Amino acid sequence: MKKIMINMGLLLGVISILISVVNYTLGDNIFQPHWSLQLLGFIISIVVIVYGMKQYKESNQGFLKLGEAIKIGLGISVISGLLGVVYFIIFTNFIEPTFFEQYIDFQREAAIEGNPDLSVEQIDAGLKMSKPFMNAGFFAAIQIILALFFGFIISLISGLVLKRENPAA
């Protein structure tokens, strides 16, 4: 089980990083990727997690418990998420060191577009409140939490579909 989680987690992490690199190199908005890239990433997550479960099921004489499915999916997700965090730290420190300043500018523009009634002072006050959260640690924690959340949902649904209890156990 560990080998499958590590291999599939690394695969999912590398694919996710490649999608991020494509998004960045195409000059698309790195703060709000195109919906198609987000959908592609989600579909790939489903495929990799389900494939990991099927690999385990095949190696376990065709049996898979729901708990095992969830453990496999969460394992894959956390490894992928950790790899994504490493990439994000490298990205924000070396590739795009002004990432957080650009993100604040992006938030300012979104606030102006979304709330034209707000004054500049109100927008700046809101941005000032969010500034303590503009760091790699906070973003890393959010990335891991989201990876676990979506990994759990995918694992639960897939596990319910793929489960097959061993009647002899």
Q: pLDDT class for 28, splitting at 50, 70, 90?
A: low
Amino acid found at 15? I
pLDDT of residue 33: 86
Residue 108 to residues 30, 67, 115, 119, 130, Cα–Cα distance (Å): 15, 44, 10, 11, 11
Residue 118 lies in a domain: no
pLDDT in tens, 39-52: 999 999 999 999 99
How far is it, in rounded angstroms, from Cα 69 to Cα 54? Answer: 9
pLDDT at residue 166, as a whole number: 87
Is 31 part of any domain?
A: yes
pTM for the model stands at: 0.91
Structural domains counted in the chain = 1
Q: Which domain holds residue 87?
A: 2-97+144-162
The predicted-structure confidence for 72-113, as pLDDT tens digits, reads as follows 999 999 999 999 999 999 999 999 999 999 999 998 998 899
> Per the domain annotation, does 136 fall within a domain?
no
Q: Residue 72 falls within a domain, yes or no?
A: yes
Q: Is residue 82 part of a domain?
A: yes
Domain assignment present for 91 = yes
pLDDT digit string, tens, across residues 136-164: 899 999 999 999 999 999 999 999 999 99
Retrieve residue 91's tokens: 């990205």
pLDDT tens, position by position, 109-136: 988 999 888 888 999 898 999 888 889 8
Give me the pLDDT at residue 26, please. 86
Least Cα distance to 154 among 37, 76, 73 occurs for 73
| Amino acid in the structure at residue 141 | A
